[in-house]
């Protein structure tokens, strides 16, 4: 049965699912959803993913619509591979649960959007300059207007559209105080993870081999998926200096360097935050939406040019005689 991952390359939760599916080594298809141009709220997508968010995983008739569920589901369909979510009673399994829940507390959307909008709280922020308060508000307002329109046109999806609108209304992701609070709350969590790594790695900070353990177990677990994508997002948001730069947390720095060598990480997260990855889905989606209109205009322009041409010239030889009408 075909497996399809719906995702947006720069989306944090998509990167979790993308990294997990690459780690599992199962075969699957990728389908990029341009969340900033409203592709996630198109009726066809809302029918398979009623939250209108990415990521989503389709496996035949089965849909998984949340990154954590996707990661757990991958364990189910590839039972012979090392488990992302090992039994909590096994060595390290309890730490996987504890640290995953701990990282889940970080309000990453607030850190992402807040960092883009209040760059004086960042250092070497990698987010495109075009991503600022004005642009974010413009995008959200456009998407919200579209939700109202689509809800009226698709009564069967009304309930989901209204729920989506509410989640948008409730978010205050560009607030400066929200960013400050979220960064503050993130700090002790990073401190705990640093300690965990220190206990595991006991002074080892480089030259890792496959036999060296990861965050909780000998193999890569959901805790590593969460940590790898979290560090990558903090790097992107210009928060490295705050959390592990200048020798502040050497184990976190070593972990980030190590995970960047991993092939799955390079595929799922490497190009994800480039300008190209952010813009291409937008261009493709806008073009696809405008395509029927463009086709109509082109056909009209062609017909008018042809009509003008035949007024002053002969019809081409292949033109049917009974259609040789001049005005
Ligand atoms: N709990 C969900 C969160 C998914 C989520 O919020 N995705 C964001 C992108 S990172 C999204 O699709 N945002 C578009 C929107 O909310 O309109 C998960 O873990 O998959």
Q: 27, 289 in Cβ contact below 8 A?
A: no
pLDDT tens-digit map of 222-244: 999 999 999 999 999 999 999 99
SS3 state at 317: coil
CATH code matching the domain that covers 3-273, chosen among 3.40.640.10, 1.20.1050.130, 1.10.10.10, 1.20.1370.20:
1.20.1050.130
> Given ligand 1 and candidates 54, 100, 131, 173, which is best to mutate, with the most ligand atoms within 8 Å of its CB?
54
Domain definitions of the chain by residue range: 3-273, 284-323
Q: 110, 173 in Cβ contact below 8 A?
A: yes
Q: Is the pLDDT reported for residue 208 higher than 90?
A: yes
Q: How many residues does the chain have?
A: 327
| Closest residue to atom 15 of ligand 1, CA basis | 53
What is the model's pLDDT at position 279? 76
Query: Closest ligand 1 atom to the C-alpha of 54?
Result: 12
| Closest residue to atom 2 of ligand 1, CA basis | 66
Query: Closest ligand 1 atom to the C-alpha of 143?
Result: 17
Distance 60 CA to ligand 1 centre (A): 22
Distance 80 CA to ligand 1 centre (A): 30
Residue 146 CA to residue 130 CA, distance in Å, equals 22
Identify the sign of the CA torsion 150, 153, 154, 157: positive
What is the model's pLDDT at position 289? 79
Distance 51 CA to ligand 1 centre (A): 8
Query: Closest ligand 1 atom to the C-alpha of 8?
Result: 9
Q: Strand order in 56-59's β-sheet? A: 29-32, 3-7, 56-59, 62-64
Q: What percent of the chain has pLDDT over 90?
A: 74
pLDDT tens-digit map of 121-133: 999 999 888 777 7
Query: Closest ligand 1 atom to the C-alpha of 12?
Result: 10
Q: Which residues does ligand 1 sit against, CB inside 6 Å?
A: 11-13, 35, 40, 52-55, 66-68
pTM, to two decimals: 0.88
| Closest residue to atom 14 of ligand 1, CA basis | 53
pLDDT band at 110 (very low <50, low <70, confident <90, very high): very high
């Amino acid at each position: 049965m075909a497996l399809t991952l719906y995702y947006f390359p720069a989306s944090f939760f998509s990167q979790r699912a993308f990294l997990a599916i690459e780690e599992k080594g199962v075969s699957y298809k990728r389908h990029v959803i341009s969340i900033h141009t409203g592709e996630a709220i198109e009726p066809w997508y809302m029918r398979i993913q009623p939250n209108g968010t990415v990521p989503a995983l389709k496996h035949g008739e089965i849909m998984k619509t949340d990154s954590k569920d996707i990661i757990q589901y991958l364990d189910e369909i590839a039972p012979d591979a090392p488990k992302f979510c090992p039994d909590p009673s096994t060595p390290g399994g309890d730490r996987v649960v504890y640290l995953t829940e701990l990282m889940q507390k970080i309000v990453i959307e607030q850190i992402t959007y807040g960092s883009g909008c209040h760059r004086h709280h960042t250092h070497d922020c990698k987010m495109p300059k075009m991503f600022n308060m004005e642009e974010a508000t413009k995008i959200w307002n456009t998407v919200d207007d579209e939700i109202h329109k689509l809800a009226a046109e698709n009564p069967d999806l009304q309930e989901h559209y209204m729920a989506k609108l509410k989640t948008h209304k409730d978010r205050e992701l560009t607030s400066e105080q929200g960013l400050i609070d979220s960064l503050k709350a993130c700090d002790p969590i990073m401190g705990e993870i640093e300690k965990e790594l220190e206990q595991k790695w006991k002074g080892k900070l480089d030259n890792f081999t496959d036999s060296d353990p990861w965050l909780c177990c000998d193999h890569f677990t959901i805790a590593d998926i969460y940590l790898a994508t979290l560090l990558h997002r903090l790097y992107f948001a210009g928060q490295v200096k705050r959390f592990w730069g200048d020798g502040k947390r050497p184990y976190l720095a070593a972990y980030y360097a190590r995970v960047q060598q991993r092939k799955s990480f390079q595929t799922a997260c490497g190009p994800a935050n480039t300008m190209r990855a952010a813009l291409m889905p937008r261009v493709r989606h806008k073009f696809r939406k405008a395509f029927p209109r463009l086709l109509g205009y082109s056909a009209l322009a062609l017909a008018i040019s042809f009509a003008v041409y035949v007024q002053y010239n002969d019809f081409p030889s292949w033109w049917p005689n009974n259609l040789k009408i001049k005005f």
